[in-house]
Amino acid sequence: MKKAEEEYSFLKACQRQPTDYTPIWLMRQAGRYLREYRALRKKYSFLEMCKNPELAAEVTLQPINRFKLDAAIIFSDILIPLGPMGVKFEFAKGEGPVFHHPLRDRKEVEKLRMIEPEEDVSFLMKSIQIVRAELENQIPLIGFCGAPFTLASYIIEGGHSKNYILTKGMMYQNRSTWDVLMEKMSEVLIRYLNAQIKAGVQAVQVFDSWVGCLSPQDYKEFVLPYSKKVINGIRKKVPLIHFATSSSTLLGLMKQAGGDVIGVDWRVDIGEAWARLGYDVAIQGNLDPVVLLGPVNLIKKEVKEILHRIGGRRGHIFNLGHGILPNTPVDHVAVLIDMVHEFSSKVRPERR
């Protein structure tokens, strides 16, 4: 059934408007836990799937065809804009992204080029257009990017890191180079998000996956100005979700950086997190993805607990605290979605 955009529960929750139930979507809802995704991965590499508009659209829609989700998120990766900037990387089997020539000095940073998203990542814009046409106004489509800090940490460290020694080393010891890198990254991400919005996404999420490694003071000094610049740089008003992991000490600062919705992981009580943030922003989260590997009665218990802590307040979007794990049972995902819809719809309408 087609809906007018103002009727989408997901978009209404982003704006803290009344909804009939709590909307739900899931990070990595298109992924390896789905057999149809695994079938495609046997034929194509991950980057091939990202860069082929028809394949990316097909993967985006796989979970939508299976589940009663309240939003789709375009299939892509936060690292996609780095390629056109001149950063070479690959996805090594079992290792994740690997950067063979990490950036360590000012000259390397200055060589990074600005991108023109409509030309340099035209495949993503085409994917968005295909998905919007296929959805036929059933549910909204989310676009996304990585946050400046998280992308900077990848290209400095050369991949994942436990302690972010090299990233912090640049922050502390070479502030001018850090600022040039973050300014350049911020401008690229502003262009990248605006291009996605122009192509048709109806909301965006900024992933600051690794910023939880920082102290509040370091976040305030080295990160907040750039995250705020990206968020303020969006030209057309669409809901923006600002998500980070291990961020319980950073919530107030994240709110300062901006976002209509603050996404939290499972390491913080969602009720306490919202009280600390203030109820003038919406909140997203925050089931531990590992719970979906457990029995159905555990999923039911945890869903009820999260909804209880929300207390029927407007502006909650249910999600995991991070992406769906590859070995998650498909039927448990279906149970989760149905439970969220069923339990939340029983909350008194005047409180929703």
Q: How does pLDDT run across 279-328, given as a tens digit for each residue?
A: 999 999 999 999 999 999 999 999 999 999 999 999 999 999 999 999 99
Contact call for residues 144 and 207 (beta carbons, < 8 A): yes
Mean pLDDT across 328-334: 98
Report the pLDDT value the prediction gives residue 90, as an integer from 0 to 100: 87
Which is it for the CA torsion 196, 258, 18, 317, positive or negative? positive
Instruction: Name the catalytic one among 32, 66, 106, 309.
Output: 32
Instruction: Name the catalytic one among 8, 33, 37, 154.
Output: 154
Percent of the chain topping pLDDT 70 = 96
CA distance 215 to 100: 29
| Tens digit of each residue's pLDDT (9 = 90 or more) over 3-29 | 556 689 999 999 999 999 999 999 999
Average pLDDT, the chain: 94
CA distance 312 to 297: 22
Could you tell me where the DSSP H helices lie in the chain? 9-14, 35-41, 46-51, 53-66, 82-85, 106-111, 117-120, 122-135, 148-157, 165-173, 175-199, 216-218, 224-232, 251-257, 270-277, 296-310, 330-345
Report the pLDDT value the prediction gives residue 4, as an integer from 0 to 100: 59
The pLDDT confidence band at residue 1, using thresholds 50, 70 and 90, is very low
CA distance 12 to 257: 22
CA distance 280 to 273: 13
- How many residues does this entry show for the chain? 352
**Tokens standing for residue 121:** 């990542």
CA distance 115 to 192: 8
154 among known catalytic residues:
yes
Residue 225 has a CB neighbour count (10 Å cut-off) of: 15
Taking 3-state DSSP, the helix, strand and coil percentages for the chain, each rounded to the nearest 5, stand at 50, 10, 40
Instruction: Name the catalytic one among 41, 66, 104, 106.
Output: 41
| Tens digit of each residue's pLDDT (9 = 90 or more) over 98-154 | 888 899 889 999 999 999 999 999 999 999 999 999 998 899 999 999 999 999 999
44 among known catalytic residues:
no
* All structural domains of the chain with their residue ranges: 5-345
20 among known catalytic residues:
no
Q: Residue 159: is its pLDDT beyond 90?
A: no
Contact call for residues 290 and 271 (beta carbons, < 8 A): no
Contact call for residues 46 and 92 (beta carbons, < 8 A): no
Range 5-345 classified under CATH 3.20.20.210: yes
Instruction: Name the catalytic one among 77, 179, 218, 288.
Output: 77
CA distance 139 to 199: 16
The pLDDT confidence band at residue 269, using thresholds 50, 70 and 90, is very high
Q: Residue 330: is its pLDDT beyond 90?
A: yes
Contact call for residues 183 and 122 (beta carbons, < 8 A): no
Residue 54 has a CB neighbour count (10 Å cut-off) of: 12
pTM above 0.85, yes or no: yes
Instruction: Name the catalytic one among 8, 16, 28, 260.
Output: 28
